[in-house]
Amino acid sequence: MTLVPAPVAAVPGQGVFSLGPATTLTADPALARAAAWLREALTPATGLSLPEGPGGIEFRQVSGLAEEEYRLTATPGRVLIEAATAPGAFYGAQTLRQLLGPAAFRAGRTAEGPWRVPAVTIEDRPRYGWRGCLIDVARHFLPKHDLLRYIDLLAAHKLNVLHLHLTDDQGWRLQIRKYPKLTEIGAWRHESPLGAKKHRRWDGRPHGGYYTQDDIREIVSYAADRFVTVVPEIDLPGHTQAAIAAYPELGNLDATLPVRTEWGVGENVLNVADATIAFFKDVLDEVLELFPGPYVCVGGDEVPKGQWNESVPAKERIRELDLRDAEELQSWFVRRFTDYLIARGRKPVGWDELLAGGLPPGLTVAAWRGQACAAMAARAGHDVVVSPFAETYLDFRQAEGEQEPVAIGSVTGLRAVHGFDPVPAGLSAAERERVLGAQAALWTEHIDSPRLLDYMAFPRLAAFAEAVWNDGRDFEDFLGRLAVHERRLDALGVEYRPAGGPHPW
Ligand code: TNX
């Protein structure tokens, strides 16, 4: 078996099932979306229309399987995919496409068939419910078309959360009807005074783009059809220079700021005025209309404290609320929004820096600074999504070497990603339950094109998918399957980093 991620169990049978013009497809009503996806995915490559009817590929709803679990039984006579829910059936459909071979991944016909599935019984289910990937569309905008393609790629690897980092110092990428300047001004950065060229510490080149609200509705519904939940992030109160550039009254200075052109943590931060809190509640109102999923991330990472330490209103807040310091002020500020989300039936997510000034109640913690932070959050009784930078940040280089593209951080090789264990050491059974899963991160300071995104994401995202889907820790076995998986990625047109080293850029 060459499946990626590897299934929990696969027992080969005798013979093959062949798909041809007469092969039918049918599904129990609850599983119809998975069957519709399969038909849509296979027809362009195979030319087969897979007419409705029993006796060919069948999706059957059964009880007794877990939420995302499926059982696939291929015999010479038929392919049966059993699941309790549509997501389970969808993962069965994804597995079936992998069994058909790399040509099944193409968007047009290159082969006449026959399209064969080896007889097999597969039992499969994920280890974690949160199998995510963060894409930073703020530092470099990812056009809608390319984001939709990534949703397909996530789903092909049985990942189910897209954490969309929509706002940062260097760009605001979401249309907000009430505050049009967020995108009119905040979505565009101009040439840097340091020069219009790509550099390790800044991007001097003009850059911009944003999603309209219709774009977002389209993205969210495309993702939902593939059982991917989009978690929007509006990063507060740091990483907000683009918003302050659009509405200077949100900041602490009298000056008008540009959208930031340098990378790294800037000194600008939102002020703590009631009007600023009201502004971002308005923003969240529109976010909630657009993103129906349970989770909304309000950031809380890397908040610079200098301006607050100097600002009279911030010092007044600290005194009036009887807070210890600016760390507690940060947690107080973020809590204005986490409480707001909880009151509207949503689940707030925030970065682990919020540990310093106290985690807002009900916060799901996105732990990026290492498993010790994740463990602290779990021990404090919070749900945690782990994303330790050393193992899951795919913006880090894949290898040493002059030819690797400029990147953030150190080296995170394929083996490290594959061997990553989402559960921090030393947790009790109850604390382990708090670990919802993990997410990889594609921060894009240096990832300025979809081609480079492919290069940084793959094959590491396939290794990550395996780490979060199953317990398999056999890297050599993964490498063997990866050789076949790369043919699938080739068929999809994914420009992954080849095992032998970088492409000659
Ligand atoms: C830290 S992880 C950040 C991002 C950067 C990233 C680069 C986190 C919450 N903040 O703003 O893009 O490092 O790897």
For 98-114, write each residue's pLDDT tens digit. Answer: 999 999 999 999 988 88
Q: What is the 3-state secondary structure (H, E, C) of 424-450?
A: CCCCCHHHHCCEEEEEEEECCCCCCCH
Q: Which helix (H) or strand (E) holds 55?
A: none
Q: Which two tokens stand for residue 351?
A: 């970065």
- Over the chain, what is the mean pLDDT? 96
pTM over 0.95: yes
For 321-353, write each residue's pLDDT tens digit. Answer: 999 999 999 999 999 999 999 999 999 999 999
Angle at 181 between CA 176 and CA 187, to 5 degrees: 85
pLDDT number for residue 195: 81
| Residue carrying the six token digits 């101009």 | 190
Alpha helices in 247-294 (DSSP H): 274-290
Residues contacting residue 52 through CB under 8 Å, at least 6 positions apart: 24, 25, 26
Taking the C-alpha atoms of residue 229 and residue 461, their distance in angstroms, rounded to an integer, is 17
Closest among 393, 402, 397, 371 to 384, alpha carbons compared: 371
In this structure, what are the phi and psi dihedrals at residue 80, rounded to the nearest 5 degrees?
-115, 125
For ligand 1, atom 7: residue with the closest CA: 443
Q: Which helix (H) or strand (E) holds 265?
A: none
pLDDT above 70 coverage of the chain, percent: 99
In this structure, what are the phi and psi dihedrals at residue 267, rounded to the nearest 5 degrees?
-90, -10
For the stretch 364-370, contacts whose Cβ atoms lie closer than 8 Å and that sit 24 or more positions apart, written own/partner, are 364/295, 364/436, 366/163, 366/297, 366/439, 368/301, 368/393, 368/441
Average pLDDT over residues 482-505: 91
Taking the C-alpha atoms of residue 410 and residue 414, their distance in angstroms, rounded to an integer, is 13
Q: Which two tokens stand for residue 498?
A: 């080849």
Pocket mutation for ligand 1, best pick of 239, 302, 349, 412 (most atoms within 8 Å of C-beta):
302
For 202-229, write each residue's pLDDT tens digit. Answer: 888 999 999 999 999 999 999 999 999 9
Q: Could you tell me the distance, in angstroms and rounded to a whole number, from the CA of residue 443 to the centre of ligand 1?
A: 7
CA 477 to chain centre: 26
Closest among 306, 235, 313 to 268, alpha carbons compared: 306
For ligand 1, atom 9: residue with the closest CA: 301
For ligand 1, atom 13: residue with the closest CA: 443
Q: Could you tell me the distance, in angstroms and rounded to a whole number, from the CA of residue 264 to the centre of ligand 1?
A: 8
Atom of ligand 1 minimally distant from the CA of 409: 14
Closest among 499, 484, 494, 421 to 4, alpha carbons compared: 484
Given 302, 328, 404, 495, the catalytic residue:
302
pLDDT number for residue 413: 96
Taking the C-alpha atoms of residue 27 and residue 36, their distance in angstroms, rounded to an integer, is 9
Confidence of residue 485 (pLDDT cuts 50, 70, 90): very high
Pocket mutation for ligand 1, best pick of 301, 444, 445 (most atoms within 8 Å of C-beta):
301
302 is catalytic: yes
For ligand 1, atom 5: residue with the closest CA: 443
Q: Could you tell me the distance, in angstroms and rounded to a whole number, from the CA of residue 440 to the centre of ligand 1?
A: 12
Atom of ligand 1 minimally distant from the CA of 445: 12
Average pLDDT over residues 306-318: 96
Q: Are 313 and 277 in contact (CB under 8 A)?
A: no
Q: Are 88 and 65 in contact (CB under 8 A)?
A: yes
- The identity of residue 504, as a single letter, is P
Atom of ligand 1 minimally distant from the CA of 301: 9
Pocket of ligand 1 (CB under 6 A): 301-302, 351, 368, 393, 395, 408-409, 443, 445
Q: Could you tell me the distance, in angstroms and rounded to a whole number, from the CA of residue 354 to the centre of ligand 1?
A: 15
Confidence of residue 504 (pLDDT cuts 50, 70, 90): low
Taking the C-alpha atoms of residue 443 and residue 134, their distance in angstroms, rounded to an integer, is 8
For the stretch 253-256, contacts whose Cβ atoms lie closer than 8 Å and that sit 24 or more positions apart, written own/partner, are 253/307
Q: Are 318 and 200 in contact (CB under 8 A)?
A: no
| Residue carrying the six token digits 């986490």 | 338
For ligand 1, atom 10: residue with the closest CA: 301
Can you list the domains of the chain with their CATH numbers? 9-124 (3.30.379.10), 130-474+483-492 (3.20.20.80)
C-beta atoms surrounding 97 within 10 Å: 17
pLDDT number for residue 42: 98
One-character DSSP codes across 323-341? -SSHHHHHHHHHHHHHHHH
Q: Could you tell me the distance, in angstroms and rounded to a whole number, from the CA of residue 369 to the centre of ligand 1?
A: 10
Atom of ligand 1 minimally distant from the CA of 369: 2
Q: Could you tell me the distance, in angstroms and rounded to a whole number, from the CA of residue 239 to the centre of ligand 1?
A: 10
Q: Are 213 and 205 in contact (CB under 8 A)?
A: no
For 415-426, write each residue's pLDDT tens digit. Answer: 999 999 999 999
Atom of ligand 1 minimally distant from the CA of 353: 9
For ligand 1, atom 8: residue with the closest CA: 301
Pocket mutation for ligand 1, best pick of 394, 443, 453, 456 (most atoms within 8 Å of C-beta):
443
Atom of ligand 1 minimally distant from the CA of 396: 14
C-beta atoms surrounding 402 within 10 Å: 5
For 153-196, write each residue's pLDDT tens digit. Answer: 999 999 999 999 999 999 999 999 999 999 999 999 998 888 87
Alpha helices in 181-324 (DSSP H): 181-184, 213-225, 241-246, 274-290, 306-310, 312-320
Q: Are 505 and 41 in contact (CB under 8 A)?
A: no
pLDDT number for residue 198: 77
Q: Could you tell me the distance, in angstroms and rounded to a whole number, from the CA of residue 467 to the centre of ligand 1?
A: 22
For 10-30, write each residue's pLDDT tens digit. Answer: 999 999 999 999 999 999 999
Q: Is 497's pLDDT higher than 90? A: yes
Q: Is 505's pLDDT higher than 60? A: no
pLDDT number for residue 325: 95
| Residue carrying the six token digits 């016909």 | 109
For 27-50, write each residue's pLDDT tens digit. Answer: 999 999 999 999 999 999 999 999
